[in-house]
Chain A
Amino acid sequence: MSAGNNEKYSRLEAVLQLYGAKDQKWPDKDRGALLDFVKADDAGQQLLREYQALDDCLDFGKVVVAASEGKTLTAHIMSQIAAPVQQIQNEGVQKSDVCSDFNADHKVDKPFTDQLLKMMPFMQKKGPLEGHFTQISLFAASLFLGLFIGLMLTSNPFWEQAIQVAFLDNGIVVEQSFEDVLMGVDVL
């Protein structure tokens, strides 16, 4: 092999090592000269065949995605972006509904004081004896009258003696006044 051919062989080897055997990928400036060399040189042809075999071997590692697999994966990806979009849309509708419901529930047709007055009956608390004033006042008056009459009677000496006699009938002599019977409680 001549020195010129040696040089071309080395260049061919460098190009094949880097770019592979497909001459479309070779640098434009080298392509023509190297193809001419390969046509004329057996060693060059053998070297090219080796790199073609290497490229063919590497091609066994190619990954091809079948159309059906691609469709399935695409659908899955689209569902992932569709979910947030749908969620946002739904949230928008829900918020809108919520807002309109809220406004409907809280719509104020009349001034607030009117509303407050309507609420007042529910805010008032009745006393336990409210509505029974007449009965209570009559009961108190009759009680007072009864006590007054009672005191008038017991202050009479006749009745005081009669009480003593009543206790004597039980064999017990009690010398006490009506105040003692009431145990000193001032009921008035």
Chain B
Amino acid sequence: MTDKRKFSSSRDSRDRDDRLMTLIAQGDGMAFETVVTTHLGRVVAVGSQMLGDRSAADDLAQDVMLKLWHHAKDWQSGRAKISTWLYRVTSNLAIDRIRANKTVQLDEDWDMAQQATQIHSLEEQHLQGRVNQALQQLSERQRLVLVLFHYQGLTMSETAEIMESSVDAVQSLLARSRAVMKKKLAKEWQSLLPDQIE
């Protein structure tokens, strides 16, 4: 995709978001439902990985979406995409809640009941638990940068925009975050190397 096409696509996306937000500001429930349906999965995923608790993530997602509904009238056209706004609000609310409740600790059974249908073996369950445990041991911002860049597949500049930080700072944070995960999960990822798999 050329830069011109990228720019055009991004501008179209912002125009569409602006139109939706205008409708939401006017109390259009259908427009709001469109936004919720489109973005809810990402918001829940980020909340879940940040908080380490799926039900808490559901509550967080509700709060984020209701914030969007209540603040739609303050939306400034052409400034940001809805997804960027949602990621930012989700991140900030998640960090607030982590700080407010420092006792949240994860064990290896993290959310297995929620994900049981998506995984196939005890080994995979164990891996999932270990990854999430390691994730929760990262600092808030290290976790957030990994969630946004690796799990949400955002670019470095999008991640920097959401985290309200410079690209250089985000790169540095991401490198540290991945290094910590590589070290903590050494046994797990080494077991996945092709020559280790029978």
Q: How many residues of A contact B (CB 8 A)?
A: 29
Bound-complex Cα distance A54 to B180 (A): 12
How would residues 34 to 55 of chain B score, 1 for a CB under 8 Å from any chain A CB and 0 otherwise? 0011001100110011000010
Are B175 and A60 neighbours in the complex by a CB distance under 8 Å?
A: no
Contacts A20-B178, A61-B132, A73-B62 given: A54-B40 contact, CB under 8 Å?
no
Q: Which of A77-85, A125-133, A138-146 contacts B (4 or more CB under 8 A)?
A: A77-85
User: B96: shortest Cβ distance to chain A, in Å?
Assistant: 20
Among B27-78, those with CB < 8 Å from A are: 27, 29, 32-33, 36-37, 40-41, 44-45, 48-49, 54, 57-58, 61-62, 65-66, 69
Q: B27 to chain A: which residues have CB within 8 Å?
A: 85
Chain A residue numbers with a CB within 8 Å of B58 are 73
The answer to whether A76 and B62 touch across the interface, beta carbons within 8 angstroms, is yes
Cβ of A58 and Cβ of B194 under 8 Å apart? no
Interchain CA distance A49-B196 in the complex, whole Å: 12
- B41:A58 contact, CB within 8 angstroms: no
B124 within 8 A of A: yes
Q: Which residue of A lies closest to B126 (CB)?
A: A60
Is residue A184 contacting chain B, with contact meaning CB distance below 8 A?
A: no
Using Cβ atoms and an 8 Å threshold, which residues of chain B touch A80?
62, 66
Among B12-20, B81-89, B97-105, B184-192, the one that faces the other chain is: B184-192
The distance from the CB of A109 to the nearest CB of chain B, in whole angstroms, is 41
Residues of B within 8 A of A69 (CB): 44
Q: Are B33's CB and A74's CB within 8 A? A: yes
The smallest C-beta distance from B10 to any residue of chain A, in angstroms, reads: 18
In the bound complex, CA of A62 to CA of B44 (Å): 11
Residues of B within 8 A of A18 (CB): 171, 174-175, 178
Interface contact B44-A54, CB-CB below 8 Å = no
What B residues does A62 contact at CB under 8 A?
45, 151
With the chains together, A20 CA to B145 CA distance in Å?
Answer: 13
Q: B124 touching A54 by the CB < 8 A rule? A: no
Distance A56 CA – B48 CA, assembled complex (angstroms): 19
Bits for A43-70, please: 1 = Cβ < 8 Å to B, else 0.
Answer: 0000001100111111011111110011
| A63 and B45 contact, CB distance less than 8 A | yes
Interface pair B131/A60, CB less than 8 Å apart: yes
Contact B151 A77 (CB under 8 A): no
Q: How far is the CB of B63 from chain A (nearest CB, A)?
A: 10
Q: A65's contact among B45, B62, B190, by CB below 8 Å, is which? A: B45
In the complex, the answer to whether B193 meets A58 with C-beta atoms within 8 Å is no
A173–B47 Cα distance when bound, in Å, is 121
Contact (A65, B150) CB under 8 Å given A58-B181, A77-B36: no
Determine if B189 and A53 form an interchain contact, defined as CB atoms under 8 angstroms apart: yes
Shortest beta-carbon distance, A86 to chain B, in Å? Answer: 11
User: Once the chains are docked, how many angstroms separate the CA of A55 from the CA of B181?
Assistant: 10
A166–B193 Cα distance when bound, in Å, is: 148
Do residues A81 and B41 form an inter-chain contact, with CB atoms below 8 A?
A: no
What CA separation (Å) do A58 and B115 show in the bound complex? 15
Chain B contacts of A54 at CB under 8 A? 178, 181-182, 185, 189
Cα–Cα, bound, A76→B32 (Å): 13
B80 within 8 A of A: no
Sample (8) of A-B pairs whose CB atoms are under 8 Å apart: A17-B179, A61-B49, A61-B128, A63-B45, A63-B49, A64-B41, A73-B58, A81-B66
Extra contacts besides A60-B119, A74-B37, A76-B62 (10): CB < 8 Å: A53-B192, A54-B182, A57-B188, A57-B189, A58-B131, A58-B146, A58-B181, A61-B131, A63-B54, A77-B36
